[in-house]
Amino acid sequence: MPLRFYNTLTQQVEPFAPLADNTVRMYTCGPTVYDYAHIGNFRSFVFVDLLRRWLRASGHRLDHVMNITDVDDKIIQNAVALHQPVEEYTAKYTEAFREDCQILRLETPERLVKATEHIPDMVQAIERLSETGHTYDSDGSVYFRISTFPEYGKLSHTDFSGMRSSVRVDVDKYDKDNARDFALWKAPKEGEPFWPAPIGPGRPGWHIECSVMAIKYLGSTLDIHAGGVDLVFPHHENEIAQSEALTGKPFARFWLHSEFLMVEGQKMSKSLGNFYTLRDVLSRGYAPEAIRYLLASVPYRKQLNFTFDGIKSAATAIDRVRNFKLRLESEKFPDCTNENMAARTEAASRKFTEGMDDDLNTAEALAAIFEYVRDANTAMDAGEFCAGNAAAALELLGRFDSVFDVIQPTKQSGFMEDSEVESMIADRTKAKAARNFALADQIREQLLEQGIILEDTKGGVRWKRK
Ligand code: AMP
Ligand code: ZN
């Protein structure tokens, strides 16, 4: 079965291939930089990272654009309250977002673009929409008239045909019951920053930002447009209306939407106050790769309930793979090839691919890896895993890690719990007793990387933190 995705537009799972020159032209909605992002936001960015990595593992090239929304109602409100220019206010959170992405090992898109650096493009697009009769002005603002786009509602599969025309909405986020003509360009209120433009002073609405930057860099028709499920309506619906009104072409072939990170049955969100930033979680001593693993482990179209126990289980799962890799690299196996094991490794690799190809079913893909690790460990214990099986096993771990990227520990000191240190020292003592000095040395190195120094004394091993 080929690579396939659930397409929100058609409500079907469809085989995926890019339209031209094996390059996936993809746009994903980025953060609004008015505060630190929370780990709910990062669930959707981790999903996009998995998507990127799997598209590449499937042999495609990528041209991926992600926006940074660095002007919106909240940003202006907060910057004005702090007497700061918008640019200064957003610079701090843009930098924090970049840092957090790096900590979570999220690849940087080919183009990470700021809304405020594309204002003239947006003004031009609004002018063109006006020339073709899709807009009207009111009090210095420009609105998109949704009745001029008969397919309005096709992404959210909602019938808006009975809508009253010329009822407007100024805020960017609203629900389907409040579907209205939406603002493309907003006139400034007293004391608010604005950009001068032929259409009058103002600033762009959120939806036009994404349409304009997507078309500018990727052309009229994208292969994939993705974002969190809360963006289906109104954001993506409005993006379709503006873009297709501008170009007359289908805006995106595949629309992918990731589900929420939940806390006790509710969406993690700033407004509910039930959120943790990445920094909050790290300061409690959890490793970034455990958070990454947790966010990646549940298939993106299923809600994921956040708990700290969930991060602990993620850390345990990562340890299992790391220990297996350590065994592969350090143990001396019999000089042979076990054909059954070779077939088992191949089957695991196939199952991993099948899982990921099936609309990024990460749960299936991870099950393939962990069942394999269990079987291979059992074979090693029984002396049935041969030296000739090691290369294929390491290659499988490499494929797994090229997508999940959790094996390499993040270099940081002081985060290892005492009990974890003791348990690794016990493993090292066992390895020495079994005369596996290579493994013993590796464990010493691993501990050193975490800032733990061992001293072998007559009375046993003593350890301290650097
Ligand atoms: P914002 O910075 O508010 O524009 O949101 C950035 C991204 O985070 C959007 O794609 C949202 O859909 C997504 N998002 C917000 N809250 C959650 C959540 N609890 N779980 C998953 N994704 C979320
Ligand atoms: Zn967007």
pLDDT tens for the chain, residues 1 to 466: 899 999 999 999 999 999 999 999 999 999 999 999 999 999 999 999 999 999 999 999 999 999 999 999 999 999 999 999 999 999 999 999 999 999 999 999 999 999 999 999 999 999 999 999 999 999 999 999 999 999 999 999 999 887 766 788 888 888 887 888 999 999 999 989 999 999 999 999 999 999 999 999 999 999 999 999 999 999 999 999 999 999 999 999 999 999 999 999 999 999 999 999 999 999 999 999 999 999 999 999 999 999 999 999 999 999 999 999 999 999 999 999 999 999 999 999 999 999 999 999 999 999 999 999 999 999 999 999 999 999 999 999 999 999 999 999 997 655 677 888 888 999 999 999 999 998 999 899 888 888 888 988 877 888 887 7
Contact criterion met (CB below 8 Å) for 211 and 239: yes
Q: What is the distance of C-alpha 422 from the center of its chain?
A: 35
Ligand 1 center from residue 20 Cα (angstroms): 30
Closest CA to 403 of 50, 26, 37, 18: 50
Asked if residue 68 has its Cβ within 6 Å of ligand 1, the reply is: no
* CA 400 vs CA 15, 26, 141, 359: distances in Å: 22, 23, 51, 16
Q: Tell me the best of 69, 206, 230, 262 to mutate to test the pocket of ligand 1, counting ligand atoms within 8 Å of each CB and taking the most.
A: 230
For the CA of 32, the nearest atom of ligand 1: 2
For residue 57, report the distance from its CA to the centre of ligand 2, in Å: 26
CA dihedral (280, 286, 292, 296) positive or negative: negative
- Would you call 193 helix, strand, or coil by DSSP? coil
Establish whether residue 228 lines the binding site of ligand 1, counting it when its CB lies within 6 angstroms of any ligand atom.
Answer: yes
Measured in angstroms, how far is the CA atom of residue 137 from the centroid of ligand 2?
23
Give the global pTM. Answer: 0.89
- Distance of alpha carbon 194 from alpha carbon 189, whole angstroms: 9
- Quick check: helix, strand or coil at residue 113? strand
- CA 441, 442, 445, 446 torsion-angle sign: negative
By most ligand atoms within 8 Å of CB, the mutation choice from 8, 33, 44 for ligand 1 is 44
- Would you say the CB of residue 97 lies under 6 angstroms from ligand 1? no
Q: Which atom of ligand 1 sits closest to the CA of residue 28?
A: 10
